[in-house]
Amino acid sequence: MLAFIGGTGLTRMDNLRIVATHPLDTRFGKPSAPVVEGELHGRRVLFLARHGDPHVLLPHQVNYRANLAALKEAGASAIVAVNAVGGITPDAPTGALVLPDQMIDYTWGRDSTFFDSPDEPLVHVDFSWPFDGALRTALKNQLATSELAWNDGGCYGATQGPRLETAAEIARLERDGCDIVGMTGMPEAVLARELALPYAMLSLVVNPAAGKSTHEITMAEIEAVIHSGMAGVCTLLADFARDYG
């Protein structure tokens, strides 16, 4: 089944007709929330709220291993992860969706592999291209039929949080080649790769990153973009579930 991971602003999918709830407990602990099974346009999908339902977990507090293990156990065959990000370059304006094709990891101290026990085999996954090509192409084709503002490609910079970045840090990320910045892309993406689950990311730009605006960004402005933007994301994901595969 196709699975969606919802980030900030997407704790629930209002257009999802819920048919089952799976309160799973993995060997890595409990996921952020129960895995919800439902229907979109008659197609069965899974949904997991990354930060819990209600939103209570900060990015560094998310049990990413439990989340991915629970989705795998519930029958996920591919994952589309949604997140709210800051825009760094002109290719990532506020309100637009970005379909990134690369990633740089600036996080630290997070459990980033399933294979860190002496009882586990030594595994080094190829992570040259963090996002599944076929899944990205399918999302790109779906975006092309929508009326949403979006950009194909870009580099996601994953920072530790929970604080926002300084202007100097954003300048460094831009020099490194990052187009957007968020706090949840890693280790989520690499854990999906370890489980051989195709994974792609859909990022909603909710504000200019630090130093990229002429005025102070308020939470009210960010919340307004999230509210309007995630409504479009929900419609897009429903159409994607109908057409995917």
**pLDDT interval class at 221 (50, 70, 90):** confident
pLDDT at 128: 98
Cβ proximity of 69 and 123 under 8 Å: no
pLDDT value at residue 102: 98
Residue 245 has pLDDT above 80, yes or no: no
Q: CA–CA distance from 14 to each of 45, 132, 140, 177, 218 (Å)?
A: 14, 27, 23, 36, 26
Residue 30 has pLDDT above 80, yes or no: yes
- Any known ligand binding at 124? no
Q: Any binding-site annotation on 184?
A: yes
pLDDT digits (tens, 9 = 90+) for 84-108: 999 999 999 999 999 999 999 999 9
Q: 10 Å Cβ neighbour count for 201?
A: 29
Q: What is the predicted pLDDT for the residue at 97?
A: 97
Distance CA 52, CA 34 (A): 9
Q: How far is CA 148 from the centre of its chain?
A: 18
Q: Does 208 appear as a known binding residue?
A: yes
* pLDDT computed for residue 214 by the predictor: 81
The string of pLDDT tens digits covering residues 156-212 is 999 999 999 999 999 999 999 999 999 999 999 999 999 999 999 999 999 999 999
51 appears as a binding residue in the annotation: yes
Q: Taking 80 as the threshold, does the pLDDT of residue 217 lie above it?
A: no
Question: Average pLDDT for residues 212-228, to the nearest whole number?
Answer: 86
- Superfamily name and number for 2-112+129-243: Nucleoside phosphorylase domain (3.40.50.1580)
Q: Quote helix, strand, coil % in the chain, to nearest 5.
A: 30, 25, 45
User: Does the annotation place 107 within a ligand binding site?
Assistant: no
Q: What percentage of residues in the chain have a pLDDT greater than 70?
A: 100
* 230 assigned ligand-binding residue: no
Partner residues linked to 151 by β-bridges: 98
What pLDDT sits at residue 118?
Answer: 82
Q: Consult the annotation and say whether 218 binds a ligand.
A: no
> Which of 5-9, 37-41, 191-195 is the most confident on average?
191-195
Binding site annotation covers 8?
yes
Give the per-residue pLDDT at 103: 98
| Look-up of token digits 């507090």 | 61
Going from N- to C-terminal start, the domains of the chain cover 2-112+129-243
